[in-house]
Amino acid sequence: MTLEEKVGLVTGIGDSSRCTGNTAAVPRLNIPSLCMQDGPADVV
């Protein structure tokens, strides 16, 4: 993975959607973007 791809996975992307946090996708490695939600048991 490139440094930019690693950073996108651990810091997320600024996306104004219903997600608490989004990770960046890495299409060349077939890694999808993840949508994280906040709940009573913390971020899941």
Give the pLDDT of residue 31: 94
Tens of pLDDT, residues 15-24 = 667 778 888 8
Structure tokens at 39: 């709940």
Rounded to 5°, the CA angle 37-38-40 comes to 135
Tens of pLDDT, residues 1-44 = 999 999 988 887 776 677 788 888 999 999 998 888 777 776 55
Round to the nearest angstrom and report the end-to-end CA distance of the chain: 25
Structure tokens at 8: 């996108």
Give the pLDDT of residue 9: 87
Give the pLDDT of residue 32: 93
